[in-house]
Chain A
Amino acid sequence: MTVNSEQSPQLQETKANFNPNLKGRYRFDRVFKTISWIATFAGIVVLTVLLIGILVSGLSSLSFDFIVNPPSRKPEIAGIWPPLIGTICLLVITALFAFPVGVGSGIFLEEFSEDNLFAKAVEINISNLAAVPSIIYGLLGLFVFARIFEPVTGGRSLLSGGLTLALLILPVIIVATREALRAVPDSLRLAGMALGATRWQTVRSHVLPQALPGIMTGTILALSRAIGETAPLIVVGAATFVPFAPELSIKGLQSSFTAMPIQIFSWVSRPQDGFHEIAAGAIIVLMLVLLVMNGSAIWLRNKFQSNR
């Protein structure tokens, strides 16, 4: 390696050991940029086509009456009030059970349990549960909630449906919670413990607030999955024709129910075109519900983040 003492206005390669090959590297950059752009674009195109299709066929059926009317045998006067309320109730029940239980187990497994065989077995089981087909959860829900706990749940009821969905998304929330907790640097735990805090005090005051945005994101994704689930609800016994929205009471929880995806499914499978149009309308409403849900969760998450 020789040092070139010659003064030169340009950056010239003076050492033979390096071949920066800038041109080639920039070309690679461009290629990857193009590939990722195409990937993004493909996704957007598919989504847009879907959205436009739905909007074109469904927008005309959207009206106030469509929202607040019960389903009917005639597509012109059919509405989605009972399944809409059913879906919202299911979501609330699901979140109410799955969030505390899921986050609680996540915290236990990540922060408190010792790294022994039992913990490893639980961990593997939870990961496997996340991959179990949803219809299996439906069967489990049917057996456990609708049959064994019938006196409490009222059989094939809203509560049974919500609990089944909660079970379904529990593994996802647990895994998301653990991932979020794992991303919190250990230095915070050490700092807390070194001040004479107990483990729970440290987790509660410092670790959990840091992990909360990640936990919320996981929960939102899980709930979004739950809102679109059809199979387990059919197994647990959602009815396809429910003329009344469930009452907001214990009795309402124990009453039979239907949900948006089931209503949509039942309408698309009919031969008349009129039902296909209102099915598209129902899909738009379902997407709006999702949008509102995700939006408020993101808002909540940002609120937590800006509070630091």
Chain B
Amino acid sequence: MQSQTSQSSPVVDTERVFHVQNTDYYYGSNLAVRGVNLEIPGNKITAFIGPSGCGKSTALRCFNRLNDLIPSAHIKGRITYRGVDIYDKQVDPIELRRRIGMVFQKPNPFPKSIYDNIAFGARINGYQGDMDELIERSLKASALWDEVKDKLQNSGLSISGGQQQRLCIARAIAIEPEVILMDEPCSALDPISTLKIEELMHELKENYTIIIVTHNMQQASRVSDKTAFFNAEATEKGGKVGYLVEYDDTQKIFSDPQQEQTRDYVSGRFG
């Protein structure tokens, strides 16, 4: 594995962006997910599927070290981003999070104007260019521009849920990340808004690497190139621990999975 510096610019790179090696995810002394090995390819959409509580969100939030905000959360193992161990002492999580954006389950625009929602990230990260132009570019990239161009000063909370979620995507891409993490981005949206976001994801993968957690298997099969299936099993102590069952091309996971559990899950027999 060749080591690169973290200063690499967003290049079109279909090689692996993340490499998770033998990683255990803990909350305090509780093992939440065990032994994950995973390579996330660049400019592809990778879907995490699996039943509730198997640790998809946990695994996702560690890619941008957002789980650092939960004091008890920690990992054992190694997660590299373009060859750099993101849990290394040298890596600043604040800087990492600019490169690895995130969209949450429930749309969470700031209670500020649409304009300021996007401008905030740019300002704090020292954006030097023309702000108006950046706002327009980000909103166009998230397919929201035509709907809000006349009301940029309205509150980000005044638009519909689907529009709010696209605003959150606009906000994430305004700071030019290389990766976008999405934790069930459509689960709070209606089918039409969901479709819009899915179309958007297809466009975004030209420029970004996307990892999406989804409950919706049709969605995973529609949008993703690779699919990771997580499951959970009971432990002796009465808790449960998640693990990665199978990781492959989406088409393979859905048509010809290697594991019995995966076959059951994608055919809807449990979960």
- Asked if B186 lies at the interface with its beta carbon under 8 angstroms from chain A, I say no
CB distance A195 to B124 under 8 Å? yes
What is the chain A residue whose CB lies nearest that of B105? A187
- Is B108 interfacial (CB 8 A cutoff)? yes
Asked if B21 is at the interface of the complex by the 8 Å CB criterion, the answer is no
Binds A, one of B45-53, B95-103, B131-139, B204-212: B95-103
B110 lies within 8 A of A206 (CB): yes
Q: Which of B210-257 contact A (CB under 8 A)?
A: none
* Interface stretch (choices A16-24, A196-204, A276-284): A196-204
Closest A residue to B168 using CB positions:
A191
Query: Which of A193, A205, A210 is the one whose CB lies under 8 Å from B69?
Result: A193
Contacts of A65 in B (CB 8 A): none
Question: How many Å from the CB of A303 to the closest CB on chain B?
Answer: 15
Range of interface residues on chain B? Answer: 20 to 34
Chain A interfacial residues counted at CB < 8 A: 21
Q: Is B166 close to A, CB under 8 A?
A: no
How far does the alpha carbon of A188 sit from the alpha carbon of B106 in the complex, in Å? Answer: 11
- B104-130 CB contact bits vs A (8 Å, 1 = yes)? 101011111000000011001100000
Which residue in A191, A196, A206, A209 is a CB contact (below 8 Å) of B175?
A196
B155 contacts A by Cβ under 8 Å: yes
Task: State in angstroms the CA–CA spacing of A193 and B104 once bound together.
Answer: 12
Cβ of B172: which chain A residues have Cβ within 8 Å of it? 194-195
Please measure, in the bound complex, the distance between the C-alpha atom of A206 and the C-alpha atom of B120, giving whole angstroms.
Answer: 10
Given A193-B66, A193-B69, A195-B97, is A188 in contact with B110 using a C-beta cutoff of 8 Å?
yes
Cβ contacts A to B, 21 pairs, < 8 Å: A114-B71, A185-B108, A187-B104, A187-B106, A190-B66, A191-B168, A191-B171, A194-B64, A194-B66, A195-B97, A195-B120, A195-B124, A196-B94, A196-B95, A196-B124, A196-B125, A197-B94, A198-B124, A201-B124, A206-B111, A210-B111
* A-to-B contact residues, CB < 8 Å: 114-115, 185, 187-198, 201, 205-206, 209-210, 308
